[in-house]
Amino acid sequence: MPVSDCSIAEQAPAARTESTVLPRRALVSVPPPAWTEWFTPRRFALILGLLIVANFASVLLGLQTFFLRDFGYFSYPLAQYQREI
């Protein structure tokens, strides 16, 4: 079986080493931005919870609903359906 012109066996030993094919790269350490130290997952959850409470306080306290009589639109037909089964 003939060997082709571009086979590894015909190349010089220096061409087959890994250091000549893939140059070594130094890893550079980049410090994270300052906001990532403060903005942790717990603080994000706290901020999100506070925003939800601030926007929907009357709904969470039971003073209003999202839609006029939405409890009746969901609860009564569902209760009737469950009774019929």
For residue 28, the model assigns a pLDDT of 75
Q: What share of the chain is helix, strand, coil (3-state, %, to 5)?
A: 60, 0, 40
Q: What tokens appear for 49 in the block?
A: 């919870």
Give the count of alpha carbons within 13 A of 64, CB side only. Answer: 7
Q: Average pLDDT for consecutive 10-residue bins of the chain (85 residues)?
A: 54 54 69 80 96 94 78 73 84
Domain boundaries of the chain, sorted by first residue? 25-84
Note whether 44 and 38 are within 8 A (CB).
no
* pLDDT confidence of residue 55: 95
* Token pair in block for residue 9: 């066996």
pTM (two decimals)? 0.44
With beta carbons less than 8 A apart as the criterion, state whether 65 and 59 touch. yes
